[in-house]
Structure 1
Amino acid sequence: MKRLMGFHLIIALVLSLCFALSIMAQEKKETEGVYTIKKGDTLWDISEKFLKDPFLWPKLWQRNPYITNPHWIYPGNPVRLSAFEEAKKVEPPKAVEEKPREVKEVKPEVAEVKEVKEVKKVEPPPVVEKKPEVVAEKKPAEEKRVIPEIRSAGFIGGFDHKGIGIVLDNKEGKNLMAEGDVLYLSFKTAETILIGNKYTIFRGSDVIRDPVTEKKIGRKYSISGNIEIIDQSGNFYTARVLEAFDAIYKGDMIQPYSKEKMEIETKR
């Protein structure tokens, strides 16, 4: 009986040692900037744990190009936490000095001048004056031109106007986003967000004061552009910039799209 208990104790010690070694190996990988995915993990959770901000999950996706879909990751796969090393600088090739070629001096040849015969003067034909044609004056044709959206100039609102969503990042990892770029969004609204829906991106600008009392009465908001939802995964959405009136930044806010346009008649 004592031998059996001793055998069980040895097995327990070996299993404990293996478990401790696996934990140490995992911690070593994490210190080296690599994390092994566990069951139930998401890029959102890993970003919150190691980058201290869940909204930075697109950065992890960008650093791990083998992940084709950020919403499908599997236990056992590695996740690079740190940025890639900068490419080694390549020294430019040394310029090869070319020896100047010898240029032979070419003596100019002088052509012989032949005797010029006398040329008879030819009188020009008489000029016939033409009367100017009278052209009837045409009235300028009127046409209608569509002026860009009125709201592209911005609007005035309260200090607490936060919209219904926010721009998290973009597919290319740019600091400034423009027309045609693909954005990652997050919404905070009870309304249903559907693929194909259009929204307007804006940001806070100057503070508005009462001209008499100088009291702060609101804030001006600048319109950056309009977007269209093209994909969805859980609480996150992907959109494409349809038109940009200004540079779009991470953290810009989102509000419902406005179709207001203005037409004026112009003359050519």
Structure 2
Amino acid sequence: MNKFLLFPLIFVTSILSGKEYTVVKGDCLWFIAERQYGDPFLWPIIYEANRDKIENPHWIYPGQVFVIPPYQEKEIGVTPTALVPPPAETTAPTAMTESLPQESLQQYSPQQEEEFGEVTTVVGEKKFVFSKESALLAGFITPKKNLQTGKIVRGYTHLSKDLVLGNKVILNKGMSNGVMVKDKILFFRYGRGVHSYGTIVRILGIGLINEAHSNNAIAEIIASYEPIHKGDYFMPYKEIIPPEGKISPVLDNVEGKIIAFKNKASVVKPYDVVYITPGNGLVKAGDLFLIYRKGKIKNVGKDLPIFPVGKILIVDVREKTSSGYVVTIMGHMDIRKDDKVRLVGRVE
């Protein structure tokens, strides 16, 4: 099967209006979409326009005649650039510090943590569809607020409200709660609620435990995505393994909708984070979803059955929801809550 790169920067599709196409041996819907629209992931346009002739998108037959709806839009995509600027402070300020009590003490002095030295991008390394940091930055929706092991009591130096890369923090849990030296932890904060689905979890950064006691611990911030504050929570860090390979078109019948955006904004832009349904069991990390709307766009007497709005790359999958980045926007379309989404690509 041919493979297709996910991230064209800008391209324009151009087709004739109101065409008909006769299926030949070896065709499939995404082959036809690529020839007609220049994009194999737009096959749902053809499928929706010919639902009376296509029982299952996996099965089309030589001799069938399909209507090819007119579609001519500019697609603006994401370039592989850093998602976040470097933190304002790269090291902790010098100051008087104090130690925790020395009983039952574990200590660790970390050297450079190479794993978190890579550039934060949507597409990640060449062999990966996205980077680990991209998955963390997206956050996720949790149905219950019970993720925390504990919270930050205060910064180790007392100098600033905002805790950044290189700062140390004192935690209210220790070895009696399973917090051990060399453990990696995620700092996070609960965000706003999403009706019927739960609460957005914002990942703030990563910590490394370098001193642990029975009932408290000290962690160093080794990655910072947003300012970290006293009272923010922490939970265990679980290794993220992004999928390897390239995304190829798929014809599976997996549909859902946009249920929320990570950040409130009047206009959604490429690389903004969105949350969709469905979740685990139907969606995988690295999946590509087409955002679409039912259209009433007239052209030579024919309605466009659906109107593509953009595409989403999924980076995190939970029980009922998935997190992803808007990687393309079609023309000047605005992306809205409740817009429909359909699986069109998967890593192979």
Q: Answer yes or no: same fold by TM over 0.5.
A: no
From the CA coordinates, give the structure whose radius of gyration is larger: 1
What TM-score, normalized to structure 2?
A: 0.33
**Structure in which a larger fraction of residues adopt strand:** 2
